Structure 1
């Protein structure tokens, strides 16, 4: 076993990049392809790494390879170290006008349809060579953010997700939405808890959790609701609600902004649900990346500036019931 401190000047630091690829892929061929080098070149890197760390790092397990305990230990710190090195080298020299990166972003259909077109227009004014791929968030969004498929997501994010960072866009509360000529709205005075639980519900399943949080709060007070329709899109649910006696629960600023278009009314919920943050979230792997820092900070500013954002709704209305 090697002892004493390593002479850093004698170490090829490119080996750390090769090590990261090997630990992520668990396979010499795939790691070589990832770094665009030959398999023999990656095999040589693995030999050098084994000598440097005095550990086999990858060991055969059946037809595959498994990480040694030492490799698992190294992997915990390697992403952070490489991120800090990247930040050191890149941040001061980053220029949006020269960036040609593709950013993949997951969000709700509401943000995609009403907010993002103007956001994209502003991005391309200062960074004309970037590309943006937008997808609708679903139940796999957090795992895709964690595995690198997404650069950013907008979410009503639960802070307990590990390895994620976020910026707050705004804070909102839930509201109850129904068609403008719904019998409850014609009567005036909002909606009672019994009426809320008795009526059929249409729910939005896309984006952040707008379903379980409501059902959990109802369960705390010994109540439940009946869900008759579920869809991932706000616009679909709004159309269904506008043509039926079903009601929907959604963030109040979205209810306020979509009500005129779909002929809806909205009011406060008849039970307590804690307010929540809208966030832009990203994984630790991107935390120190200069282009990513620019992209997410700009995203926060542009979304907040949108006429369809929570910030715009907050500045123009504090109304709890719109009939």
Structure 2
């Protein structure tokens, strides 16, 4: 195509389409709210660019040339697509057909996903979900688009991420119901270190604060089992004298369902924060905004505590 065509603006292309549709410069000028002389210049530029008169006189009227007929519909389609790009996206969960991916712990999968999927089938029946076990500091999953959002306990993140607090919770020590420490109201550091421990390694840091505190007094605990899953930790907990440090809301749920109990940790206090986290590249997407809110509401309504405002996450 002639390089002169590159000099035609979108408004000039719109004017050209109108001219070729009505085949009358005076009428086209009225429709476009511009002057006939301006449209005459646009038509001249288009003729030069395309190497064709585009419309010719036939008696007292104009008709399109073959070239004019060829370019009219493609130009209209191009302008329609540009209008679609510039128009705000109207999103409806009921008609959305998309597969989202979220990451979290097996606890989230067990206690939150079932109700979430039931509601999803009603609100957005065309939406599908992949669930991935979240690993600490795998923010590259969010950046690359492998994962749309993550739910986890997070202390700090790189820049370019956003998050919303799902809730806050305190650390407690969980044990089998018949454990000798179950008779105590609170646990001292001596009590805590007298027994071996289970450590959950997947997701956010659930008990690293304990080890950091103990190192200050040159003490340490014995980790008998390190396991990535809450479900496996619970099974071992019920069948051994090992202790498990974890958030109170999880311990409270387990105490109502299994032969376990929990006690406060007297020698220190630690507060957890749970987040829904996503990358900045998905921030403005209407589909992602709906999905984030949907997940947030289900996490808040299930097992988590105090709500928080939307905050950008940055390195501490």
SS at match of 1:261: coil
Match of 1:203 among 187, 195, 199: 199
In 1, the alpha carbon distance for the partners of 2:8 and 2:167 equals 46
Query: Counterpart of 1:120?
Result: 117
Q: CA RMSD in A?
A: 2.3
SS at match of 2:256: helix
In the superposition, relative to structure 1, how do residues 8 and 137 fare at CA in structure 2: closer, same or farther (>3 Å)? farther
In the superposition, relative to structure 1, how do residues 161 and 271 fare at CA in structure 2: closer, same or farther (>3 Å)? farther
In 1, the alpha carbon distance for the partners of 2:253 and 2:234 equals 11
Match of 2:172 among 160, 171, 175: 175
CA drift of 1:149 comes to 0.8
In 2, the alpha carbon distance for the partners of 1:153 and 1:111 equals 11
Q: Deviations over 1:232-290 (max 9, x none)?
A: 11111111011111000010000000123221010111332431211100011111111
In the superposition, relative to structure 1, how do residues 293 and 189 fare at CA in structure 2: closer, same or farther (>3 Å)? same
SS at match of 1:134: strand
Answering whether residue 292 of structure 2 is matched by residue 296 of structure 1, we say yes
SS at match of 1:278: strand
Is the CA contact 2:149–2:292 (under 8 Å) kept in the aligned structure 1?
Answer: yes
Structure whose alpha-carbon radius of gyration is higher: 2
Answering whether residue 215 of structure 2 is matched by residue 219 of structure 1, we say yes
Is the CA contact 2:247–2:272 (under 8 Å) kept in the aligned structure 1?
Answer: no
Q: Deviations over 1:195-224 (max 9, x none)?
A: 212310001111211142331232234432
In 1, the alpha carbon distance for the partners of 2:173 and 2:85 equals 45
Query: Counterpart of 2:133?
Result: 136
Query: Counterpart of 1:282?
Result: 278
CA drift of 1:88 comes to 7.0
Aligned residues: 227
Unaligned runs of 5+ in 1: 1-6, 11-85, 313-323
Answering whether residue 181 of structure 2 is matched by residue 189 of structure 1, we say no
Match of 2:234 among 235, 238, 262: 238
CA drift of 1:136 comes to 1.4
Is the CA contact 2:169–2:305 (under 8 Å) kept in the aligned structure 1?
Answer: no
In 2, the alpha carbon distance for the partners of 1:234 and 1:123 equals 25
TM-score, normalised via structure 1 length: 0.65
CA drift of 1:90 comes to 4.2
Answering whether residue 178 of structure 2 is matched by residue 153 of structure 1, we say no
In 2, the alpha carbon distance for the partners of 1:8 and 1:176 equals 72
Query: Counterpart of 2:53?
Result: none
